[in-house]
Amino acid sequence: MPVLKREQARDVGDPSGLPKLPVPPLQQTLDMYLKCMSHLIPEEQFKKTKPIVEKFGAPGGMGEFLQKKLLERSEHKANWVYDYWLEDMYLSNRLALPVNSSPVMVFPKQNFRSQSDTLRFAAHLISGVLEYKSLIDGRALPVDYARGQLAGTPLCMDQYNKVFTSYRLPGPKIDTLVAQKSTVMPEPEHIIVACKNQFFVLDAVINFRRLNEKDLYTQLERIRKMADIEEERLPPIGLLTSDGRTQWAEARSVLIKDSTNRDSLDMIERCLCLVCLDEPSGTELTDTNRALLMLHGGRTDKNGGNRWYDKPMQFVIGADGCCGVVCEHSPFEGIVLVQCSEYLLRYMRGSPSKLVRAASMSELPAPRRLRWKCSPDIQAFLTASADKLQRLVKNLDMNVNKFTGYGKEFIKKQKMSPDAYIQVALQFTFYRCHGRLVPTYESASIRRFQEGRVDNIRSSTPEALAFVKAMANSSKITDAEKMELLWTAIKAQTKYTILAITGMAIDNHLLGLREIAKELKLEKPELFSDTTYATSIHFILSTSQVPTTEEMFCCYGPVVPNGYGACYNPQTDHIIFCVSSFRESAETSSDLFVKTLEGCLKEMQDLCIKGNTEAKPTDSTEKMDGNTKVMKNGSKS
Ligand code: COA
């Protein structure tokens, strides 16, 4: 297996000094594709797929031609897959952003005793946002370094530049990720405050001076009062952004015919971020309920319309203490969202509110309410969007569970990668719930490369299947054999992880081959019209590790109607699992999945404890050695 040599791939012309993402060897990808799918599809189907893949990869065949074209592309692009990936993963996806696409970060529950407590929190948070933004603008954020597998490598910082400057513009067929280019004299920066489904412009810079916390508080108080005036309330236009992308694009094209609407849209599209001051939800604020409220805002008569989903960062501050961030995912990954959120929580803890000491600006211009002209057509769009959001709210089945049996420390003590172990546990759980394994997505960061985003670790390995089958047939197989199978599954998972983070996984590569054929207006290669390919990208299990060092957790919805979203946050002595699915699917149940997962994690722990006494490998470090050697220096030993 060829592994990237850092020096070989380094692009000397790139200021970040990071290497370019390599294009994996064609044959390696095709072999892995067959290996990844062979045990997930019926034998008959595999028999049809194998010759299709072989034909594609034959000498002088279509695969070789497309590979050559991809290699050429990689020479003149900083990252050969970036545009293809962005379109495929996000921009051409027509599903509504809430639940289906936008992950959320749930903050610790706050105890606001009064409205001024809430506004004080909001002013403090906005102060932190402005600080963080100036760090990004001044290129003063410390460079992130990889942790865990292949630790120590610097990571690409590009994604940070997009946190407060991007906007996802809906389009009839495909969206556009608009980026505001920073100029020498940036125009005044503003935040949009959503309150009671109304949108207000809060200038963060007035007369070249950044507003201090006291000023921000004063402005927020004024906004709150303006939002309370019932006669001035306008329809909840934000609901349109919660609709399918094509529907929202259509509604937007009607909306912009009016100049008032155009001006309002322009203010929202150019803002730094949104701060959504939510009404009390009226529900008990359990972890699960807070996750639900962040994901969709509750019913449309609650805070569902108090959002603008196209903007990457929406800080939600509920009067009942339910707080967090909703993130439009196309400009950056969850890890960047975590970094920003953690900075803010630390800022708020470490820098006491400066409301009392700061001198307020004498005459602050009043914040402005954004106006909308709603034609009957827009009213009809709003009714349709509200219905759709209501259905999404009813449909989402969420379970946030803190597994307290053990955490990553126990797993490390077994000399296993915690991430690989958790992935195997998720496979075990799926098997126990459904009696089979399915194509699984685990995000693997490729930020070691220029403009790197993610590739996929296909965790439903044949080795994982062998292990989960053995666990299911518990009486016939000895613990020592099961332990051996667990080691094999963990090794396979760790090996795939390393391939993925070094740019050698198969999903981006196959996507590149498919898209370059399209770009060259060639007939779609049979490999991509084959049923197996469609199955391979229907990710029934969509998983992601999003670890935090502050008390908070990330969650998201499933990516297919009959699937699960499973986000996990491993801590020293516990693991937070956020499992989502859709109630409309008869196949799935988040509660059942979580309950089963707890059992599977316990069984795996028992096995490890027994394995350590009965079937301890001669040297457990050696068990992982094949990987460790690749891991340490990034090249095959
Ligand atoms: N024995 C003992 N300890 C081990 C071990 C072993 N065999 N293997 C790993 N560990 C340790 C690591 O050193 C690390 O230690 P640390 O906590 O001190 O840093 C820890 O266990 C975690 O390592 P591991 O569980 O292997 O995972 P990882 O941190 O390498 O993460 C990925 C793996 C795939 C999750 C990570 O590479 C990645 O890509 N993360 C980004 C995911 C992402 O983008 N999420 C957001 C999507 S929106």
- The answer to whether 512 and 23 have CB atoms below 8 angstroms apart is yes
- Pairing status of strand 198-203 against strand 190-195: antiparallel
Q: Does the structure show a pLDDT above 70 at 404? A: yes
- Pairing status of strand 564-570 against strand 575-582: antiparallel
Query: Of 123, 118, 99, whose CA–CA distance to 279 is shortest?
Result: 118
| 501/146 Cα distance (integer angstroms) | 10
As a whole number of Å, the end-to-end CA separation of the chain is 11
The secondary structure element, H or E, covering residue 345 is helix 334-350
Q: What is the DSSP letter of 301?
A: T
In the three-class reduction of DSSP (H, G, I as helix; E, B as strand; rest coil), residue 468 is classed as: helix
| 416/410 Cα distance (integer angstroms) | 9
Mean pLDDT, to the nearest integer, of 427-445? 98
The residue among 305 and 357 whose pLDDT is bigger is: 305
The predicted structure's pLDDT at residue 615: 46
Q: What is the DSSP letter of 88?
A: I
Phi, then psi, of 302 in degrees rounded to 5? -100, -110
| 217/119 Cα distance (integer angstroms) | 6
Q: What share of the chain is helix, strand, coil (3-state, %, to 5)?
A: 45, 15, 40
For 246-253, the CB contacts below 8 A with 24+ separation are 246/94, 246/170, 246/172, 246/173, 247/381, 247/384, 247/385, 247/388, 248/170, 248/385, 249/170, 249/171, 249/172, 249/175, 250/172, 250/381, 251/378, 251/381, 251/385, 252/170, 253/172
pLDDT digits (tens, 9 = 90+) for 484-505: 999 999 999 999 999 999 999 9
| 156/448 Cα distance (integer angstroms) | 6
Residue nearest to atom 8 of ligand 1 (CA): 417
Q: Does the structure show a pLDDT above 60 at 570? A: yes
Residue count (the chain): 637
Question: Rounded to the nearest whole angstrom, what is the distance from the C-alpha of residue 151 to the centroid of ligand 1?
Answer: 9
The predicted structure's pLDDT at residue 183: 54
Q: Does the structure show a pLDDT above 90 at 209? A: no
Query: Of 239, 278, 567, whose CA–CA distance to 383 is shortest?
Result: 239
CA-angle at 325, arms to 190 and 369, nearest 5°: 35
In the three-class reduction of DSSP (H, G, I as helix; E, B as strand; rest coil), residue 237 is classed as: helix
Q: Which residue has the tokens 């194998």?
A: 50
Q: Two tokens at 13?
A: 């012309």
Query: Of 426, 465, 423, 434, whose CA–CA distance to 39 is shortest?
Result: 465
Q: What is the 3-state secondary structure (H, E, C) of 151-207?
A: CCCECCCHHHHHCCCEEEECCCCCCEEEECCCCCCCCCCEEEEEECCEEEEEECEEC
Q: Which of 39, 329, 434, 574 does the annotation list as catalytic?
A: 329
The predicted structure's pLDDT at residue 637: 24
Question: Rounded to the nearest whole angstrom, what is the distance from the C-alpha of residue 408 to the centroid of ligand 1?
Answer: 10
Tell me the pLDDT band of 556, cut-offs 50, 70 and 90. very high
Mean pLDDT, to the nearest integer, of 436-449? 98
| 637/626 Cα distance (integer angstroms) | 9
Computed over every residue of the chain, the mean pLDDT equals 92
Atom of ligand 1 nearest to the CA of 417: 8
Atom of ligand 1 nearest to the CA of 334: 48
Atom of ligand 1 nearest to the CA of 337: 48
Question: Rounded to the nearest whole angstrom, what is the distance from the C-alpha of residue 182 to the centroid of ligand 1?
Answer: 35
Question: Rounded to the nearest whole angstrom, what is the distance from the C-alpha of residue 578 to the centroid of ligand 1?
Answer: 18
Mean pLDDT, to the nearest integer, of 220-247? 97
Q: Order across the sheet with 190-195: list the strands.
A: 368-369, 198-203, 190-195, 274-278, 313-318, 323-327, 104-106, 553-555
Residue nearest to atom 32 of ligand 1 (CA): 444
DSSP string, 488-510: HHHHHHHHHHHHHHTT--SHHHH
- The binding-site residues of ligand 1, defined as CB within 6 angstroms of any ligand atom, are 147-149, 333-335, 412, 415-419, 443-445, 454, 497, 501, 544-546, 624
Mean pLDDT, to the nearest integer, of 273-283? 96
Q: Does the structure show a pLDDT above 50 at 626? A: no
250 Cβ contact partners less than 8 Å away, ≥ 6 residues apart: 172, 381
181 Cβ contact partners less than 8 Å away, ≥ 6 residues apart: none
- The answer to whether 419 and 545 have CB atoms below 8 angstroms apart is yes
Mean pLDDT, to the nearest integer, of 278-307? 95
CB atoms inside a 10 Å sphere around CB 488: 17
| 272/236 Cα distance (integer angstroms) | 21
Tell me the pLDDT band of 365, cut-offs 50, 70 and 90. very high
| 256/271 Cα distance (integer angstroms) | 18
- The answer to whether 597 and 426 have CB atoms below 8 angstroms apart is yes
Q: Does the structure show a pLDDT above 50 at 3? A: no
Same CATH topology for 100-397 and 398-504+527-614: the answer is yes
C-alpha distances in Å from residue 330, one per residue of 312, 326, 348 = 8, 13, 27
- The answer to whether 385 and 239 have CB atoms below 8 angstroms apart is yes
| 355/359 Cα distance (integer angstroms) | 9
In the three-class reduction of DSSP (H, G, I as helix; E, B as strand; rest coil), residue 316 is classed as: strand
The predicted structure's pLDDT at residue 355: 67
| 434/511 Cα distance (integer angstroms) | 29
Q: What is the CATH number of domain 100-397?
A: 3.30.559.70
| 61/26 Cα distance (integer angstroms) | 11
Q: What is the CATH number of domain 398-504+527-614?
A: 3.30.559.10
C-alpha distances in Å from residue 299, one per residue of 73, 294, 388, 418, 599 = 47, 12, 11, 37, 34
The predicted structure's pLDDT at residue 240: 98
In the three-class reduction of DSSP (H, G, I as helix; E, B as strand; rest coil), residue 214 is classed as: helix
Active site residue 329: yes
pTM of structure:
0.93
Which residue out of 412, 441, 487 has the highest number of ligand 1 atoms within 8 Å of its CB and is therefore the one to mutate?
412
Question: Rounded to the nearest whole angstrom, what is the distance from the C-alpha of residue 510 to the centroid of ligand 1?
Answer: 25
The predicted structure's pLDDT at residue 350: 87
* Single-letter residue type at 367: P
Residue nearest to atom 33 of ligand 1 (CA): 419
Which residue out of 105, 149, 410 has the highest number of ligand 1 atoms within 8 Å of its CB and is therefore the one to mutate?
149
In the three-class reduction of DSSP (H, G, I as helix; E, B as strand; rest coil), residue 137 is classed as: helix
Torsion angle of C-alpha atoms 315, 454, 497, 573, degrees rounded to 10: 0
Q: State the burial class of residue 225 (Cβ atoms within 10 Å of its Cβ: 0-12, 13-18, 19+).
A: exposed
Mean pLDDT, to the nearest integer, of 296-306? 92
- Pairing status of strand 564-570 against strand 541-545: parallel
Radius of gyration of the chain (CA): 25
Q: Give residue limits of the domains in the chain.
A: 100-397, 398-504+527-614
pLDDT digits (tens, 9 = 90+) for 582-623: 999 999 999 999 999 999 999 999 999 998 765 444 443 444
